[in-house]
Structure 1
Amino acid sequence: MTNDIIAGVAGALAQEFGCPVYQNDVAQGLTPPCFLISLLSPSRKPYLGTRQRYDVPLDVLYFPEEAGDNRTLTDVADRLFETLAWIDLPDGDRLRGMDVHFEIQDQVLHFFVVYTLFLRQNIVLPYMEDLKTDVIPEKGGEASGTES
Structure 2
Amino acid sequence: MTTDIIKGVAARIYEILGRSAGKIYTGEVPQGYSPPCFFIEVLNTATEHVLGDRYLETVNLMVSYFAPERPDGTVDHMKLQETGDVLKAALEYIKAAGNLTRGTDISAAEGDGAVHVAVTYEVFTLVPREEIPLMETLTQTQGTKEGD
TM-score, normalisation: structure 1? 0.82
2:113 alignment partner in structure 1? 107
1:31 alignment partner in structure 2? 34
Question: For 2:143 and 2:61, how far apart are their aligned partners in 1?
Answer: 65
Identity %: 31
- Which structure has the greater CA radius of gyration? 1
Kindly tell me the number of residue pairs found equivalent between the two proteins: 140
Question: For 2:63 and 2:85, how far apart are their aligned partners in 1?
Answer: 13
Structure 1 range deviating more: 119-128 or 15-24? 119-128
> Structure 2 unaligned runs (5+)?
none
Deviation at 1:65, TM superposition (A): 1.0
TM-score, normalisation: structure 2? 0.82
1:80 alignment partner in structure 2? 87
2:99 alignment partner in structure 1? 93
Deviation at 1:136, TM superposition (A): 4.9
> Structure 1 unaligned runs (5+)?
143-148
1:145 alignment partner in structure 2? none
**Per-residue Cα deviation, 1:50-106 (whole angstroms, up to 9, x for no partner):** 1100111110011111244322211111101221111123x4322111111111122
Structure 1 range deviating more: 34-43 or 7-16? 7-16
Question: For 2:145 and 2:13, how far apart are their aligned partners in 1?
Answer: 77
Amino acid at match of 1:8: G
